[in-house]
Structure 1
Amino acid sequence: MLAGEILLRSGAETARIEDTMNRMASAFGLNDAQSFVQPTGIFFSANPIDRVKLVRVVERSTDLAKVAIVNGISRKISVGEMTVDQALSDLREIARIKLSYSFWIQVLAASITSGCFLIMFKGIWGDFLPAVIAGGIGHTLYIYLHKMIKVKFFAEAAAAFVIGLIAVITVKNGLGTEMDKIIISAVMPLVPGLLITNAVRDLMDGHFASGLAKGADAFLTALSIGTGIAAVLGFVFKIL
């Protein structure tokens, strides 16, 4: 249950979580174990007689390092290289520690990524710096707002609005040229790429409830980004 919870919180797909839990249970002699994973919780039964156990998962993020570590523990358990106590101790330590990158590294990565996307989208080098600035400031705002307001869609819409505003200002003042490519490049770090991938993967594996839920989450994220940009282009752009 703890392994499944860590995987779900870290952005793993449903099939991987269920397979990992079932393999670990089988390795420890629970051959009749059943697991059922949803985006907001995990159900697990050790056998047909015991009661079903539930873990509620509210907050989810992307931490592929933890996914890789838990997979490694699962493989060691499957080949008999790790006992129950050792596995539980390691999993508790993984759940406790924070392996995600620091705030400044995330902002720096978002900035550089935005500039690189601009060149990939065949933008001009003169717009590289405006895209870097817009992407960095937008991602900074997203991180801060997401910490203060748990509704991430509001944080994404606000970040997209600021990105669009910076793009409009730079173009209006002659610091940028192609506003559309600056905006598209700067919002790319906000795009839920992993969420979309997992949604498609779950649907292909037959996990329709999880796939549709993750797809709806990705759709709302895209809608929030589009709303923020539309607000800038529809109102602020005309005023400036």
Structure 2
Amino acid sequence: MEPAEQQHTLDRITEVCLLAGKIMMQNGGETYRVEDTMMRIAAAYGKPNSHSFVTPTGILFAIDGAAPVTRLIRILERSTDLHKITLVNDISRQIGRGELSPHEACELLRKVEAGKPEYRTWLQIAAAALASGCFLLMFQGTLADFLPAFAAGGCGFAAMLLFHRVVPVKLFAEFLASVVVGTLSYLFVRTDLGQELDRIIIGSVMPLVPGLLLTNAVRDLIAGHLVSGLSKGAEAFLTAFAIGTGIAFVLSVY
């Protein structure tokens, strides 16, 4: 293979690895899983000596060779879409079985990255509303408060999505969403449509709680990825702080 062709192939393999890692990191993947997937893809293409350094905001990746080049890719937005992670895992397995060339794998990964969320916005809001009502019951609330929690939780989650689109600052959106939840919960109780304010609020804010972030932070810390674990833990703490501040603001006003 000519040096120029060999370098082109190496660049394409690097692109596949970085794209796979970027998609997984943007959609809720754990750091150690991202690094493992990238190195497995490189090994499947005959490059076992690869190195990666993954953080929540960027990925560094390099493959040993005659002229090793380290490439960096930034992670600007993070959300939760486990369906895309599943698709990347499927592509990784196909690569491991030798079914995809670097060019084919790159095209498939680009389609996954450009794909719309698996669940529509209205379905996410409906699921959040139902989860809020079920959390209320789990926290020993009464059936009379199910509908208030259902409505407050759904409206709060919808408000978070809306505010996040208008102002791309996640903490600000979560703060305003918790204000909406607290205000609606208070109004339901004040108008005798609800009974226990504390349980309605607790159930309604549960869809906003960063459960996946906390889980990934602990798993990354256990796996030895201290930088990613601490940064994700800090992000989860700030989210919880924003939610608590929004609820405290409403209760102090009313």
> Aligned partners of 1:6 and 1:27: how far apart in 2?
19
Trace 1:63-102 onto structure 2 (pairs within 5 A).
63-102=81-120
Cα RMSD after superposing both structures: 1.0
> Aligned partners of 1:96 and 1:130: how far apart in 2?
37
Structure 2 match to 1:106: 124
Counterpart of 1:165 in 2: which secondary structure? helix
Counterpart of 1:12 in 2: which secondary structure? coil
> Aligned partners of 1:100 and 1:148: how far apart in 2?
22
Shift of 1:29: 1.2
Q: How many residues end up aligned between the 2 structures?
A: 236
Trace 1:80-159 onto structure 2 (pairs within 5 A).
80-159=98-177
> CA offsets per residue over residues 200-225 of structure 1, 9 Å max, x none?
00000000000000000000000000
Of 56, 65, 89, the residue aligned with 2:74 is: 56
Shift of 1:97: 1.1
Structure 2 match to 1:162: 180
Structure 2 length normalisation: TM-score? 0.91
Query: Could you tell me which amino acid in structure 1 is paired with residue 139 of structure 2?
Result: F
- Identity among equivalent pairs (%): 51
Counterpart of 2:69 in 1: which secondary structure? coil
Query: Could you tell me which amino acid in structure 1 is paired with residue 243 of structure 2?
Result: I
> CA offsets per residue over residues 8-28 of structure 1, 9 Å max, x none?
111100001000000000111
1:200 paired to 2:226: no
Query: Could you tell me which amino acid in structure 1 is paired with residue 107 of structure 2?
Result: S
Structure 2 match to 1:41: 58
Shift of 1:31: 1.6
Counterpart of 1:34 in 2: which secondary structure? strand
> Aligned partners of 1:88 and 1:173: how far apart in 2?
57
> Aligned partners of 1:146 and 1:34: how far apart in 2?
35
> CA offsets per residue over residues 69-120 of structure 1, 9 Å max, x none?
1011111111222222221111111111113321111111111111111111
Query: Could you tell me which amino acid in structure 1 is paired with residue 79 of structure 2?
Result: S
Shift of 1:50: 1.5
**Displaced runs of 4+ in structure 1, greater than 6 A?**
none
Structure 1 length normalisation: TM-score? 0.96
Identify unmatched segments of 5+ residues in structure 1.
Answer: none
Structure 1 match to 2:33: 16
Counterpart of 2:48 in 1: which secondary structure? coil
Identify unmatched segments of 5+ residues in structure 2.
Answer: 1-17
> Aligned partners of 1:113 and 1:24: how far apart in 2?
37
> Aligned partners of 1:100 and 1:93: how far apart in 2?
13
1:184 paired to 2:202: yes
Counterpart of 1:66 in 2: which secondary structure? helix
Counterpart of 2:59 in 1: which secondary structure? strand
Counterpart of 2:52 in 1: which secondary structure? strand
> Aligned partners of 2:165 and 2:151: how far apart in 1?
22
Shift of 1:181: 0.3
> CA offsets per residue over residues 10-53 of structure 1, 9 Å max, x none?
11000010000000001111121111101001000011642210
Counterpart of 1:101 in 2: which secondary structure? coil
> Aligned partners of 1:43 and 1:100: how far apart in 2?
28
Structure 1 match to 2:227: 209
